[in-house]
A and B are shown apart, each in its own frame.
Chain A
């Protein structure tokens, strides 16, 4: 059977459950990230997006369910397996979480030395290469205190990429940024996607993600209640919850609103929004 010969997803979650403080934060959530795909998690605040992403690399241990990396179930009780999983799964946080006492270069270098056991010299060289990949070579010596939000997030991306992850989890990577800084981070993410990185992104940047995503996952109250291609879910007459939600937040964030969204994402979503730069421009509300 062809299905049996298919390569397994890079990362797969099966029936993840998590209860926090009596709250059913994740309710049997399953998802699979095949190689090279980009999935986008949307949903109201409190839906469980961050919890889901952090369960994927056991930063939050799920109560039930399992995680499979390239088809192999991860044994969360083995510290070695956990560290190895986390090395292969890059994570980007809303508030960057750079190490404040280290320069941009050292932020990227430290895990290469500690986790991968690279020499200071090799790690430093690789760190600079990763920083130049996100356009920050000239900021390598600066400390987080002297970087803008957009630059901090790009350093965080370089730091994650340096570990050579097989998949990236991005939790609202632009939500803490001033509007004028969002574009530079989205450009880096777009670049990653175009280079075939497997990703799952929680974001409210609807038209940007519509132009990028293979699949939208709409989450509410700990469950994925809708999923499908952005074209499908955002079609004007789809009547989907996703469309209603996206229309609402697009309006709030000053995107063109439902009409614009529908126009942009209507019959031919790809053609409409995949205009990278234009999409980006429209993305940043003034």
Chain B
């Protein structure tokens, strides 16, 4: 039995978790990108879309914010294959299913922040942009979005941090990301305390790193009137 923690760490835990880490990143990054993209579209449509589109996006947000993420993950992985349209059904592997689930769920939350950011821009600025001869689209692109993005960034950043943490749910549909790998190692070695505490440190590092990058981004976009509130 007892090798020391450090030896265990070096020989088993770190190599195992390292592989899990890459898988985690392979889930988190596309999910985050998908979430931001969907959130951006849904947020813009919720504010500026024609009525039916607005209602559709509202419904999307209610659905994905109103149901547990685990249920959503199960749906895309276990239920989707049974839905057949014209004899075709879609079977997703565990990783794409997780990315889809996280991206869609994250997008619903992101759209809330984007929407709030958009609504914080006074209509007068849009009127001024139109009065200069810009099209609505140009006004949204070069006047509204850059400001809304800055206003939404803290909220969106928080959502990304959450995403890093809830990516661990992919382990329940067999994805061997950080948490999945750690669970396997724990099962095989019975060194639960060491394994899960170390796992926690991995997430902590990921989250800290992401927070730091987000602050860098916020600071680089910072202009007078849009400063980051430093704690």
B window 84-137: CB within 8 A of A:
122, 124-125, 127-135
Task: Tell me the bound Cα distance from A101 to B134 in angstroms.
Answer: 17
- Please tell me if B50 contacts chain A, counting CB pairs below 8 Å: no
Given contacts A79-B135, A110-B142, A114-B134, contact A99 B224 (CB under 8 A): no
Other-chain residue from A54, A83, A99, A143 in contact with B125 (beta carbon distance below 8 A): A99
Task: Note all chain B residues with C-beta closer than 8 A to A57.
Answer: 131
Task: Note all chain A residues with C-beta closer than 8 A to B6.
Answer: none
Task: Note all chain B residues with C-beta closer than 8 A to A145.
Answer: 223-225
- Please tell me if A144 contacts chain B, counting CB pairs below 8 Å: yes
A111 close to B223 (CB less than 8 A):
no
Task: Note all chain A residues with C-beta closer than 8 A to B124.
Answer: 93, 95, 97
Other-chain residue from B125, B134, B150 in contact with A115 (beta carbon distance below 8 A): B134
Given contacts A101-B147, A145-B224, contact A59 B131 (CB under 8 A): yes
Task: Note all chain A residues with C-beta closer than 8 A to B207.
Answer: none
B225 close to A160 (CB less than 8 A):
no
Task: Tell me the bound Cα distance from A93 to B134 in angstroms.
Answer: 16
- Please tell me if A146 contacts chain B, counting CB pairs below 8 Å: yes
Task: Note all chain A residues with C-beta closer than 8 A to B224.
Answer: 142-143, 145-146
A144 close to B225 (CB less than 8 A):
yes
Given contacts A79-B135, A115-B133, A145-B225, contact A97 B142 (CB under 8 A): no
Other-chain residue from B128, B133, B138, B226 in contact with A101 (beta carbon distance below 8 A): B226
A86 close to B127 (CB less than 8 A):
no
Given contacts A95-B124, A99-B143, A101-B147, contact A83 B134 (CB under 8 A): yes
Task: Note all chain A residues with C-beta closer than 8 A to B142.
Answer: 110, 114
Give how many B residues have a beta carbon under 8 Å from the other chain's beta carbons.
22
- Please tell me if B81 contacts chain A, counting CB pairs below 8 Å: no
The total number of A-B Cβ pairs within 8 Å is 76
Task: Tell me the bound Cα distance from A143 to B224 in angstroms.
Answer: 6
- Which of A89, A95, A98, A114 has the largest count of B CB atoms less than 10 A from its CB? A114
Task: Tell me the bound Cα distance from A80 to B178 in angstroms.
Answer: 55
Task: Tell me the bound Cα distance from A146 to B143 in angstroms.
Answer: 19
- Please tell me if A91 contacts chain B, counting CB pairs below 8 Å: yes
B132 close to A159 (CB less than 8 A):
yes
Other-chain residue from B125, B132, B147 in contact with A160 (beta carbon distance below 8 A): B132
Task: Give the distance to chain A from B42, nearest Cβ to Cβ, in Å.
Answer: 23
- Please tell me if A123 contacts chain B, counting CB pairs below 8 Å: no
Task: Tell me the bound Cα distance from A114 to B136 in angstroms.
Answer: 12
Task: Note all chain A residues with C-beta closer than 8 A to B15.
Answer: none
A143 close to B133 (CB less than 8 A):
no
Task: Tell me the bound Cα distance from A184 to B99 in angstroms.
Answer: 58
- Please tell me if A100 contacts chain B, counting CB pairs below 8 Å: yes
A window 187-212: CB within 8 A of B:
none
A86 close to B133 (CB less than 8 A):
yes
- Please tell me if A268 contacts chain B, counting CB pairs below 8 Å: no
Task: Give the distance to chain A from B3, nearest Cβ to Cβ, in Å.
Answer: 57
Task: Note all chain A residues with C-beta closer than 8 A to B135.
Answer: 79, 83
Please name 12 further chain A to chain B contacts, defined as beta carbons within 8 Å, in addition to the given A86-B130, A100-B225, sorted by A numbering. Answer: A57-B131, A79-B135, A95-B124, A97-B124, A101-B147, A111-B132, A111-B134, A114-B134, A114-B142, A115-B132, A143-B223, A156-B128
| 11 residue pairs bridging A and B, Cβ less than 8 Å apart | A59-B127, A83-B133, A99-B129, A100-B125, A101-B223, A111-B129, A114-B142, A115-B138, A146-B224, A156-B128, A160-B132
